[in-house]
Amino acid sequence: MKSRLSKLPIFGRLINEIETNVHNLGIQNGFARTFKDHNVEIVADYDEQTAHILEHEACILVVNHPHEIEVIALAAALPPRKDAYVIANAGFMAICPSVDKHILPVYVTNNEQSASNWPFIMRLAGKLHPLASYDANEEHKKNIETINAGGQKLIEGATVAIFPDRHSTNGHWFNGVGYMTKAAENTTRDLFVVNVFVEGTTSHDYLRLLRPIAKRLPDIEVHVSQPTKINDLLDLEPKEITRILETSYREWVASNNKAYSIPKIND
């Protein structure tokens, strides 16, 4: 059954367009085609070696997430790959069926501090596309299952993108990235981490997909680091892994003269 969002004027047409593109072209090329058709420029800056690892190796992508569109901008910027997954808000599920198979859902509806800070488009989606309701303990259990599923995908050789600064309460990363990395400790493959910094986004970025507005907005830039092999971190505890990855990420961003801060959700 189609989501009620697909019946909305303008946005419904866009949702159906995304579904068609992703179904026919795959998640990366599908989102890239959608952005291109709406005159939205996504500029990515990775080299051939990085592209090869993004296409073929087990890889964790750690990505900043100040707004909402970073998730799909990231997908549009990456090289094509069928076994690419993203840890994302469960609210994105069942909107575009072809996208669902790439989403590892996390539940945040019981995060009292986050709901009131959602942008208009997400609040609207929540009303027209309500999620199954779980209490806080059940959500926590489901999120643990998702993190472990992400670790299993890495063991199988996939890429998994995660946004560890989303809805931070203390200005630092959540430990999910460390627990997911630890969940892959039995891998027999090389495991890489790639830092990604998305800039140029705003809380109104869904308006970019309206062609007349898109031309007036700046490009979205997706900066990608060189891959780093992290198998030597797998013996550490999850919180220590998180601390090391966050420190490395901040140092990489600073080395590229970019400003990175994590706004506390209660600021």
- Residue 202: pLDDT band by 50, 70, 90 thresholds? confident
pLDDT at 266: 45
Range with the largest mean pLDDT of 35-49, 130-144, 172-186: 172-186
Domain boundaries of the chain, sorted by first residue = 4-255
Q: Rounded to two decimals, what is the model's pTM?
A: 0.88
Express as a percent the part of the chain with pLDDT over 90: 60
- Residue 136: pLDDT band by 50, 70, 90 thresholds? confident
* DSSP H or E stretch at residue 51: helix 48-56
Segment 28-68, tens digit of pLDDT = 999 999 989 888 889 999 999 999 999 999 999 999 988 77
87 has pLDDT over 60 = yes
For domain 4-255, which architecture applies?
3-Layer(aba) Sandwich (3.40)
- Residue 133: pLDDT band by 50, 70, 90 thresholds? confident
User: Do strands 42-44 and 220-224 pair parallel, antiparallel, or not at all (unpaired)?
Assistant: parallel
d(CA 251, CA 257): 10
Does 73 or 8 have the greater pLDDT score? 73
d(CA 164, CA 63): 7
User: Do strands 84-89 and 103-106 pair parallel, antiparallel, or not at all (unpaired)?
Assistant: parallel
d(CA 219, CA 39): 10
The mean predicted confidence, pLDDT, of the chain is 86
